[in-house]
Amino acid sequence: MALAPVAEACTRFVYLGPNDNIVTARSMDWKLDVATNLWVFPRGMERNGEVGPNSLKWTSKYGSVIATGYDVSTTDGMNERGLVANVLWLVESEYPKYDQSKPGLTIAAWAQYVLDNFVTVDEAVADLAKEPFTIVSDSVPGEERLTTLHLSISDASGDSAIIEYIDGKQVIHHDRSYQVMTNSPTFDQQLALNSYWKQIGGTVMLPGTNRASDRFARASFYVNAIPKAEDPNRALASVFSVIRNVSVPFGITTPDEPNISSTRWRTVADHKRGLYFFESALTPNTFWVDLKKIDFAPETGKVLKLDLGKDQDHTYSGDATADFVPAEPFHFLGLQL
């Protein structure tokens, strides 16, 4: 499949606060309604890579709360042990050819595989480095372009990793200092661009456009410039202010920059307290899910769904954990080979 020149924009960063107060935030920028809902998955779910007979198979070790894309993929989420996974667009992605020499995993379940299986970034990286599967991608639902994503993971210790596929090979960037990820260019080039802005200093000047490299520079400066608050709620307020700062105004169009899209929603994950916040661009309220109140046990836990509505315009307020209702799990989009 040929790659279209159009890409989407998102931002992710990790706040490293005192007293193990770690918070990961991300924005979802997309030109159309990405049909997102929130789901609860208990432990013990039987999974497969959804690419035919040689699909990767596993049983979930940890429960999670996730945000979907089109209700066919996991785009974002946190598991009960405080591991967070986010997928963002990266047009430069090129995945290995799926020759069935090893089990296949649909890109729609890439983030879910990490949430299901690991507690720490170290654990996840050690497994992924062995390349136990081949990522298999397909078209974006309703579109004629290949899904091209990279994956970020962060844990309750503040460790961080970014996984990309460049020229058909997996590249893992693993370091606590890798707090920020946006879109193009590839992560190594983003680091090089950001070093320029570090020399200038964020209090002197910061790039202000919606381009990925500019959002990377702003997020990198602000996430470490905001106060390291002892009060976790104050820390959350600061983190929300930064993710809003690097969001793209709703409805904006930039003819010369087709890779810029409006921010549809934002999530903020409080690793220590097990709180997963969601904020839609089309509702006046921010709400959260308390993972500590959820029954993730395989014997008694249930698959639950929170319907966010078209364009995520349903309004929830405060702790929305009790608003989830039992539902049949969605089917990860894959290939029938």
What amino acid positions are annotated as catalytic residues?
10
Q: Which two tokens stand for residue 6?
A: 């159009």
Closest CA to 13 of 5, 4, 21, 22: 22
Map tokens 């497994």 to a residue: 127
Q: Could you tell me the CA-to-CA distances from 318 to 188, 241, 323 in Å, in that order?
A: 39, 18, 11
What are 185-189's contacts with CB under 8 Å, separation 24+? 185/92, 185/212, 185/213, 186/90, 186/92, 187/150, 187/162
Helix (H, G, I), strand (E, B) or coil at 253: coil
Give CA–CA dist 333/50, Å, rounded. Answer: 7
Give CA–CA dist 81/274, Å, rounded. Answer: 8
Give CA–CA dist 109/191, Å, rounded. Answer: 28
Say which amino acid occupies 292.
K
Between CA 87 and CA 92, with CA 90 as vertex, the angle to 5 degrees is 145
Under a CB-based contact definition with an 8 Å cutoff, are residues 328 and 69 in contact?
A: no
Any bridge partners for residue 171, and if so which?
A: 164
Give CA–CA dist 43/79, Å, rounded. Answer: 10
Helix (H) or strand (E) holding 287: strand 286-290
- The 10 Å Cβ neighbour count of residue 326 is 9
Q: Could you tell me the CA-to-CA distances from 279 to 152, 247, 275 in Å, in that order?
A: 20, 12, 13
Give CA–CA dist 161/125, Å, rounded. Answer: 8
Give CA–CA dist 16/294, Å, rounded. Answer: 26
Q: How many Å separate Cα 145 from the centre of its chain?
A: 20
